[in-house]
Structure 1
């Protein structure tokens, strides 16, 4: 039985390393065991520092400030938190608004909700975000989606001079920004230098900046700062954020919204 357990854990490590992140439910289905068994295995592997255990799954260890997980890997992490954040952020958008959405899995989930809001003008540098509006029926509601050009990153962002030039000519009411990390020292950051420049252009095109980031982003630092904490007009995060970290953010950001289920 011990050998079988070790074989199972080897499979888990292989899945996490190849995909960047996996959910407990996916591992249970793949291995044909219960979710409780998978959670025990993850506890063992986390103690061995072979994976990082997160809510609902596990991620690869040893990431550096330049490490950039792919969109698929990030899209399976903190789904509940991202959904409540998206629901709270969607309340900040009214019909007919002109808004910008950066690339990211939280902004992607926000886009799925905003597809129901009529007559929006949406600018994004994310193919996934643009697709979310299209598949959500936004076209029928009179919404216009403008997708910038650019070079695609592992996180499915379109970045570079083409995207920056397009964004600098625009005047948007609100920009929704997803981030790789946030901290008191580094502000809101990204592991991709080119994405930083594109996101700066997107921020500067808007009158109001709303950052959407779940609590696991606190303390994570990418190589390049996109914006200081104080540049955000609104931060929407979830209740998993520690009180001390919330106090730091409230000292810098004009309005911190703690999203909870059933808002």
Structure 2
């Protein structure tokens, strides 16, 4: 491992998340070189790559991820919020963009939000909208309900729209 790799690891661990552009500026190399470095550092389990940035391994919390590519996520959340009509029940899965969507919906007393995310449920604890959290096994790392009981609960709830998180996209495999 060279000095630049050590610098990248320290920056990412200190800040939790750093963009490729910022890493290129701080290390004095091209973005292509930074991406290559990040691939190597992720392979060796020093950090985690996300689109356009790197994250510390222990920063898998939604609150931290909400700040990565914030403007894009906020624009997506605003568009999604505009698709929800009065009287609808909407399912919102976990994830940082969906958390921003939940924030935008918090003042809407005319909707019901169903979520498996305890993070999102906590964001909505003082909200005007009704909030339903299905039961199941708590997956602590994602703060979400998972498993057969969760699946059964969701099958018993009727909702008009669902907003599902996407972790990544590749041409070969599509959305994940």
Q: 1:12 aligns with which of 8, 19, 25?
A: 8
Q: 2:61 aligns with which of 59, 62, 71?
A: 71
- Alignment of 1:188 with 2:169, yes or no, is no
- Alignment of 1:58 with 2:48, yes or no, is no
Which residue matches 2:130?
144
For residues 98-144 of structure 1, the C-alpha deviation after alignment (integer angstroms, 9 at most, x for no partner) is 1100011000000000112223111101011112222xx42xx3x21
Please state whether the residue corresponding to 2:175 is helix, strand or coil.
Answer: strand
Q: Once the 2 structures are TM-superposed, how far is the Cα of residue 186 of structure 1 from its aligned partner?
A: 3.2
Please state whether the residue corresponding to 1:113 is helix, strand or coil.
Answer: helix
Q: Verify the 8 A CA contact 2:91 2:113 in the aligned structure 1.
A: yes
Please state whether the residue corresponding to 2:8 is helix, strand or coil.
Answer: helix
Which residue matches 1:117?
108
For residues 211-262 of structure 1, the C-alpha deviation after alignment (integer angstroms, 9 at most, x for no partner) is xxxxxxxxxxxxxxxxxxxxxxxxxxxxxxxxxxxxxxxxxxxxxxxxxxxx
Q: Once the 2 structures are TM-superposed, how far is the Cα of residue 154 of structure 1 from its aligned partner?
A: 2.8
For residues 180-228 of structure 1, the C-alpha deviation after alignment (integer angstroms, 9 at most, x for no partner) is 1235553432xxxxxxxxxxxxxxxxxxxxxxxxxxxxxxxxxxxxxxx
Please state whether the residue corresponding to 1:111 is helix, strand or coil.
Answer: helix
Once residues 165 and 40 of structure 1 are traced to their aligned partners in structure 2, the CA distance between those partners, rounded to angstroms, is 49
Q: 1:91 to 1:41 in 2, by over 3 A?
A: same
Q: Verify the 8 A CA contact 1:122 1:144 in the aligned structure 2.
A: yes
Q: CA RMSD in A?
A: 3.5
Q: How many residues align?
A: 160
Q: If the length of structure 1 is used for normalisation, what is the TM-score?
A: 0.51
Q: Once the 2 structures are TM-superposed, how far is the Cα of residue 160 of structure 1 from its aligned partner?
A: 1.0
Q: Once the 2 structures are TM-superposed, how far is the Cα of residue 152 of structure 1 from its aligned partner?
A: 1.4
Which residue matches 1:160?
147
| Structure 1 residues not aligned, in runs of 5+ | 1-5, 25-34, 62-66, 190-263
Q: Verify the 8 A CA contact 1:102 1:124 in the aligned structure 2.
A: yes
Once residues 14 and 168 of structure 2 are traced to their aligned partners in structure 1, the CA distance between those partners, rounded to angstroms, is 20
Q: 1:22 aligns with which of 17, 26, 29?
A: 17
Q: If the length of structure 2 is used for normalisation, what is the TM-score?
A: 0.72
| Structure 2 residues not aligned, in runs of 5+ | 40-48
Of Structure 1 and Structure 2, which has the larger fraction of its residues in strand?
Answer: 1
